[in-house]
Structure 1
C-alpha cells in the first residue's frame, strides 16, 4: 500500500488539533520530531562512519526540530555543529540553544566554510509551512547545499521546495535534491519529485487521528521511531 500524503493545510490543522484536543505541547511535538530526525541520521550513517554533522536551522518549528535532533545526535556519539543565523527570542528556542551550549556543541556563522568540514548536513531550515521567497541569509545556504558533494538529510521538506509542487523553477533551490528526506508524521506531496532515501517518522499519532486526516501510519518496528519508505512510495 502506498502511503498517502498530507498537504500543508491538513498538516497545519493536524498540528493545531494535536496541541488542543490531543493535549500535546509544542515542546513534546518538537522533541518527538527531533528524535525521529536523529534516528534517521543514525540509520543513514552512524557516528563511527561519519561523526561530523552540520545542522542548519531556520527560525521556525523546523529549526527547532533541528536543535532537538542535534542534542540527540551528541548523545548518540556524533559531533554536531550548529548553523542558526536567525535566532528568535522565543523561550523554547533559547532553552534548546542553552542545552546545546551546555554540551559544548559549537555554533558557526559561516555555513559555506563549515560545509567543507563536515560529513553530513541536516537541512532543518524550512518545513511544510514554507511559501514565497527565500530570504537572506538562506539563498547562499541552499545554493551551497545544491552544489556541495556532502550528503544532506532534509527535515520534512528540502528547503525552498513548494510542499505541493516540489522544487522551484528557478532560484537557489532549482537544482537542489538532497540525498535523504525524513517526512514527519506523513509524507508531503513534494515526495513525487524526491529521488533519495526517504524515511517517515513521528510515532505518536493514533489511528483515529490518522483516519480523520487521511494519512497512513507506517509499520514501525520494535522501538524504532522511523521507517524507510522505498522510492516507489510503497512499504
Structure 2
C-alpha cells in the first residue's frame, strides 16, 4: 500500500485516502484472482477509520452491491436487502428461495463485488454461512467489512475463514491523509502543519473525528478571520477528541 493518498483513475475527482486505496487494492485483488483461489476479502479496523467511506468509494468504482448489516437483522433480512440492492423491489419467499435468487442475479455480472459492512454482526449472530453459500455458488468477489475483532471472529468459523483470500486492516490517518482532508474541507483557508499534526494526534488518526475538527476549524476561521490562516497558536477552539465528559456529582 502507498504511504500517501493517491488518485485512482475512476473518472472522479475525489480524494483517495490511504484506507480507501487499501480497500480498492483488496477489491481488485479478489476480483482479479486466479481460478480456484478464494473469493473473500476482509477489511477490518477500529470505528472512525473511514472503512464505510472506503466501501462507498469501491461501490461506485466497481458498481458493487452494498449492504450494511443492522443489529436487529436475521438471515432473511440480509437476503432481502441484498435482493433489494440487486433491483428486486419486493423480495418474497423463504430464505433458501431468496438465496438462490441472489446467486442467479449475482452470477449475471460476476465482476460486481458483494460488499457487506458491519459484517461482525452477522458473524456473532450465526448467519454468516448464508454469505458463504452465496459466495460459493456465485463466485463473485465478496468483501466483508467490520470492527477490529472481525478476523478473530472468522477464525472460529473454519468454512468461512479458509475462504478468505486476504485480510487487510484499516490504519489511522497519516499526516498526508489529514492534510488532504484539510484541503478538501477548508478550501482556500491556509492551515499550519503544526495544527494538522495536533488534530491528527489528538483524534488518534480517526478520520471521522478529524473531519469533525476540520469542519469546526473552518467555521471558526469564517467567524474570526485569523490573519495568515489557521495556526496552532491562534486557533481559539478546542480540538474534539471524542472523550466522554466525567460524571458530575450532582451537588449544587
Larger strand percent: 1
Larger helix proportion of the pair: 2
Same fold (TM over 0.5): no
* Higher Rg: 2
Q: TM-score, normalised by structure 2?
A: 0.33
